[in-house]
Structure 1
């Protein structure tokens, strides 16, 4: 291997403690041009530490892939994919769920890419330019261990002139492709930009709703996207659901999700509106809800304002309390990797204290089993907290 890069003592210590993420400050020298090849990371005596690569993405500056010096090739990758598939046999054998994460980047030992399974179709996401450089070898390894895949689509999630989504192999499914999760059907579109129509990491939370957590209750689903939480709640016996999202497309997409489950639209309200505007509207109309679901994007911008989980989540909680029925439930969720569970909890509970209500944390969820995390906090990015609130 030709490229050797020296790490700082702190960088080496982090790797040896099990953290595979390389940060720019872990490198002894500044890198003018990122090498599009595998890299040997070494110490100040040029002794081998690990093999990996450098590639800028939102989490950091590169990844450690191996510490045994065996070399990264098609067989190495095939073994990684085989191990990941083996770990998920419980999902493959579950007839009520046909969509899940097949390979979760660093959590499965290879940072910079993920692979999702949708009823025999695969969606591979690339998070940096370097890993994409090895696309052909990675795809060949994947199809070697998963020859039954009907088709493969890729998502380019780094800054690039390439199309953000394109078909790589096999046949395209008839769309919408209907997948199942906890017995509920969801309409997905595998080749429509970055998103498919469902966030697979929320399966356990949707599962609670499917089981009847909101049975007989009025549910408000904010930042509803395609209404997946609303559909799960209605399937589990919710009296009515209200889905609110600013995106115009959310209306037709949410209607479709109810329709593929044969759920009547009469008890479902779908509203295209800014979330904070809807809180004000609901307050003026004296509307109240038994369950309010908050799952905003980490950061969002519209013509009038910006929203950031780190600074604005407390306001979401306070506005929710105003229209929450007594003894109501708030399901507070975020996928912001840079916000720790401790800070997230603090933001929610400070807001609840500001509203002078009694509250109790009754359930919490992190990433499900098909989304294994690595040994650093940002890897386990999902945080979902259920609070009961007495006014």
Structure 2
């Protein structure tokens, strides 16, 4: 793991020299063949001038990450401990908040180490590994956690199978095993989580502030439609905010029992809410046919989704999807338009919204915007890391 190789960066490349930590394959003019994952690499320009050092690890279009711009810095256990210590210091307000016990404590390149993230769930840590390369440094990171925290237990998610998919395995690493469901809090809302069940543990932590806005500002007295609802977290927030009725729609069979559980642990009678296992695209057609209208529509699709009859790609299909949401939103109703697709930014996303309303002949007003919350730290040199875009808008009469 500690052998070093040299990677040459093309003179035409601007991103890596400009501070981007991801070494994309198109920017490389030379790299040793058969390089082992986890090899320490030095990135140099065509003339041999030092750019940075990091590790070799294939991840999407990248072949590795730059970790330091200091040629003398060693990539060792103390390096990882220093980065984790700084990240935990940044999250002190979260650790001290009694109403929030689940949040991100380390966000990859935003905290100085691309390819790995770490989430906190009431004393338990979940490490997400995004390449075999960073996984070679597992013991360094675990030792840093041992030195810095009094954790209850550690779990991991290996997301470096082909095409970045999750490797099914026993995710428990060390410490004590959690009792599931592990109930955590987020701004006082309770969520059931399962750290050892799959790639997704039961709640997407990056939407914390959006759920708070839905609960505190937009739900009272409203009829709410939550599409691509997963475990119904937005629906729970809406009911706690005073919604008269929520309808949660998701294609996955597990969404029904998972959503029922989230309602129940918050003291909500799930039988008073509608939980529908159905293709969202089919539900939109049903809602139009039945002339259903909602006061608040939440539209948070995955970047890519495939069902028997539909394939959805956020980069090209979001405007058409939003058109369908607009059609079943009441006048003066609110739409929460969200995307976690990293291939386009907020400006283009707003263009999608403009296009959808232009196609429907309607008008709208933007009420507020959200990006990643502060625990999901990002850097301006790596825009792809700032993936979340949420626009809360009103459909004008």
Task: List alignment gaps of at least 5 residues for structure 2.
Answer: none
Match of 1:200 in 2: 205
Cα-to-partner distance string for 1:335-369 (whole Å, 9 max, x where unaligned)? 00012222211112101111111111111100000
More off after superposition, 156-165 vs 303-312: 156-165
- The structural deviation recorded for 1:304 is 2.2
TM normalised by structure 1 equals 0.96
Cα-to-partner distance string for 1:197-219 (whole Å, 9 max, x where unaligned)? 00000001001122142111011
Cα-to-partner distance string for 1:2-45 (whole Å, 9 max, x where unaligned)? 3122212244x423422111111221225532333111112233
Please say if 1:126 is aligned against 2:129: yes
Q: Does the 8 Å contact 2:247/2:276 carry over to 1?
A: yes
TM normalised by structure 2 equals 0.95
Please say if 1:284 is aligned against 2:250: no
| Distance (whole Å) between structure 1 residues aligned to residue 361 and residue 123 of structure 2 | 50
Match of 1:376 in 2: 382
- The structural deviation recorded for 1:162 is 5.2
Match of 1:8 in 2: 10
Q: Does the 8 Å contact 1:164/1:194 carry over to 2?
A: no
SS in 1 for 2:171: strand
| Distance (whole Å) between structure 2 residues aligned to residue 101 and residue 207 of structure 1 | 17
Check 1:336–1:59 CA distance in 2 against 1; reply closer, same or farther (3 A cut). farther
Between Structure 1 and Structure 2, how many residues are aligned?
389
| Distance (whole Å) between structure 2 residues aligned to residue 333 and residue 314 of structure 1 | 12
Match of 1:27 in 2: 28
Which one of 364, 369, 377 corresponds to residue 364 of structure 1?
369
Match of 2:67 in 1: 65
Q: Does the 8 Å contact 1:330/1:387 carry over to 2?
A: yes
- The structural deviation recorded for 1:334 is 0.5
SS in 2 for 1:53: strand
**Counterparts in 2 of 1:290-305, with a 5 A limit?**
290-305=295-310
Match of 1:53 in 2: 55
Which one of 307, 327, 331 corresponds to residue 322 of structure 1?
327
Q: Does the 8 Å contact 2:362/2:396 carry over to 1?
A: yes
Check 1:339–1:14 CA distance in 2 against 1; reply closer, same or farther (3 A cut). closer
Match of 2:391 in 1: 385
Check 1:59–1:188 CA distance in 2 against 1; reply closer, same or farther (3 A cut). farther
Match of 1:355 in 2: 360
SS in 2 for 1:28: strand
- The structural deviation recorded for 1:390 is 1.8
Match of 2:344 in 1: 339
Which one of 41, 44, 68 corresponds to residue 39 of structure 1?
41
- The structural deviation recorded for 1:134 is 1.6
**How big is the alpha-carbon RMSD for the aligned residues of Structure 1 and Structure 2?**
1.5
SS in 1 for 2:218: coil
| Distance (whole Å) between structure 1 residues aligned to residue 370 and residue 319 of structure 2 | 19
- The structural deviation recorded for 1:286 is 1.7
Following superposition, which runs of at least 4 residues in structure 1 exceed 4 angstroms of deviation?
A: none
SS in 2 for 1:75: helix
